[in-house]
Amino acid sequence: MEQPIDIDLERANVAYADLAGTVCRCCGLPKQPKFSFNGFCYHSLPARMKRSLWDREHYVENYFAALAWLRIRFKRQNVEPLEQQQDIDRAGEVNRD
């Protein structure tokens, strides 16, 4: 029964390292420390999912759910987040983090 605890601890370590980091795990672009994602990825999330990232008690689960949602969304659009961000920047819509 130790394996689930180890997996949960590993996931928590990854989530909190990402939170403290300066690179968005979803797209690889820079982000501010203490933010889960950069502005582009964060604003791509549904409002309810954005709010869930502020729930300290369930942050790890909510972070990985948001990350999975973003990856599915970008995969369905058949474009990498970085490419999509570059297309938006070229169109004149500047990303404001």
For residue range 12-41, what is the model confidence (pLDDT) as tens digits? 999 999 999 999 999 899 999 999 999 999
Q: Is 44 inside a domain boundary?
A: yes
d(CA 91, CA 76): 21
pLDDT tens digits, residue range 34-81?
Answer: 999 999 999 999 999 999 999 999 999 999 999 999 999 888 776 566
Q: In this predicted structure, what is the pLDDT of residue 86?
A: 55
Number of domains composing the chain:
1
Judged against a pLDDT cut of 50, whether residue 97 lies above it is answered with no
Q: What pLDDT was estimated at residue 77?
A: 72
What is the residue-wise DSSP string for 30-74?
A: B--TT-SS-HHHHHHS-HHHHHHTT-GGGHHHHHHHHHHHHHHHH
Confidence bin at 10 (pLDDT 50/70/90): very high
Phi-psi group of 51: left, alpha or beta (phi > 0 → left; psi -120 to 50 → alpha; rest → beta):
alpha
* 43 found inside a domain: yes
61 within a domain of the structure (yes/no): yes
Within-domain flag for 12: yes
Range of the domain at 73: 2-90
pTM: 0.74
Q: Would residue 97 count as lying in a domain?
A: no
Residue 96 lies in a domain: no
Q: Which pair of structure tokens corresponds to residue 76?
A: 């369905």
Please report whether residue 13 resides in a domain: yes
Asked whether residue 95 is assigned to any structural domain, the reply reads no
